[in-house]
Structure 1
Amino acid sequence: MKRPAVPVLALALLCSGTAGAQVFKWKDDKGVTHYSDQPPPPSTPARTRVEVKSFTTGGASVELPPELADAVRNRPVTLYTTADCGGCSNGRAMLMARGIPFREKTVATADDQAALKKAGSNGQLPLLLVGRSKLTGFEQDSWDVLLSEAGYPAEKTLPVNYQYPAPVPAAPPPPPPPEQPTRTEIDAVKPPPPVNAPPGFQF
């Protein structure tokens, strides 16, 4: 008797609503395959069998090599940049050349500047975050050392069909205020006055 393909359905649901997220796949000690948007617990045996699927803004599912997937999970990379910044352009190009998955946050407003300082910079750009470690300014040797210490492969192993997420503001704009109902809409929901109401009656 065939068992229902519940994991496949679960993975499909995760894919449909988590663009830009990750799904972890692993087997427990009984050989049961699990899919989750959270990494397996530390007690999970045979962690080398954990696979990470990245769902990018392009909607394509890309399976990362195990060493790279572990580094992305344990010490994700974030790059803060701004326009007309040579070091930012060089840093971005260096990360892509080495095949490092990263998220880019741009600094253009006062709110972005505040977010940059909160992230650990004195205002200098670019700012590279690798897990909890940070480097300000671009210096290739220092960036290479930090990435290697974080477990990222020295040579590019990123799949050719991987799509980097689009840059986002360091301080995302607040959501727009809810639309206020018009007078016509307000009047439409008012109950009619009682049949015997006196002239000029109001609720």
Structure 2
Amino acid sequence: MKSSKTILACSLLPALLSAMFFSSGAQAQMYKWVGPDGKVTYSDQPPPPGQKKVEKKSFSNGPDMGNLPPELAAVVAKNPVILYSTNNCSPCNDSRKFLTSNGVPFSEKTISNNADLDKLKQVSGDTQLPFMMIANVKFQGFNSVDWRKALDSAGYPATSKLPKDYRYPAAEPAAPVVATAAKDAAAPPKPATPLPPQKPTQDNGIRF
């Protein structure tokens, strides 16, 4: 009899998410543009020529490798691990604990609004969470057996090689806020507010 695998996953629906503002760190470039049909696109690649309302933002796309052993840093550089998660998601918590307990450096992208959800669908083609990427290999839902095999194939050690003082980077929104300073600078200046009529002052006959 074949043994069945249990994949733990959360599913998100756009109607359950409300718009909100968010922020991020800085390492790589994220682009945002609005197409002729009004569709908003987020990508780490520059937009096609002729796109309007193009904005870009620097964001962190990987864990800090400053104090990693050279052999582990080489694996992380070649096969970076990115985890997509959300709040109130037990499988997401399990997947995060699995990576940390196995000593796997990873960056985490959180889904908390519609923009984040759109980014998740662009990357994974679905709304299922947790979602993990090892380089360009995608894993939807959490399965500890499959994930461990994938990490082994990617070159991650079976036991943790992380330094005792290693700190995982803080989670970031999947769709970081893009810079709007350039757009604001290009906007025409607002007309000066006219002063209210001034009452005439009494002439004391002195001029300077």
Q: What is the 5 A alignment of 1:56-75?
A: 56=64, 62-75=66-79
The reply on whether 1:178 has 2:179 as its aligned counterpart is no
Task: Please name the residue that 1:129 is paired with.
Answer: 133
Q: What is the 5 A alignment of 1:183-198?
A: 183-184=191-192
The alignment partner of 1:105 has SS state of strand
Task: Please name the residue that 1:81 is paired with.
Answer: 85
* Unaligned segments of structure 2, at least 5 residues: 1-24, 28-61, 194-208
Task: Please name the residue that 2:162 is paired with.
Answer: 158
The alignment partner of 1:134 has SS state of strand
The alignment partner of 2:133 has SS state of strand
CA shift at 1:175, angstroms? 2.7
TM-score (norm 1): 0.58
CA shift at 1:154, angstroms? 0.6
Distance of 2:177 and 2:130 partners within structure 1: 21
Distance of 2:148 and 2:115 partners within structure 1: 30
Q: CA contact under 8 A between 2:133 and 2:139: conserved in structure 1?
A: yes
Distance of 2:129 and 2:75 partners within structure 1: 24
Larger helix percent: 1
Offset from partner CA, 1:73-117 (integer Å, 9 cap, x none) = 101000000111111101011111111111100011111111111
Distance of 1:125 and 1:86 partners within structure 2: 10
Out of 113, 119, 124, the position equivalent to 2:123 is: 119
> Displaced runs of 4+ in structure 1, greater than 3 A?
179-185
Q: CA contact under 8 A between 2:63 and 2:169: conserved in structure 1?
A: no
Distance of 1:65 and 1:174 partners within structure 2: 34
TM-score (norm 2): 0.57
Q: 1:73 to 1:94 in 2, by over 3 A?
A: same
Distance of 1:136 and 1:55 partners within structure 2: 21
Distance of 2:75 and 2:63 partners within structure 1: 17
Q: CA contact under 8 A between 1:80 and 1:106: conserved in structure 2?
A: yes
CA shift at 1:184, angstroms? 4.1
- CA RMSD, Structure 1 to Structure 2 (Å): 2.8
The alignment partner of 2:166 has SS state of coil
The alignment partner of 2:169 has SS state of coil
Distance of 2:71 and 2:150 partners within structure 1: 16
CA shift at 1:160, angstroms? 1.3
1:169 counterpart letter in structure 2: P
Q: Larger RCO: Structure 1 or Structure 2 (Cα < 8 Å, ≥ 6 residues apart)?
A: 2
Distance of 1:138 and 1:132 partners within structure 2: 17
Task: Please name the residue that 1:110 is paired with.
Answer: 114
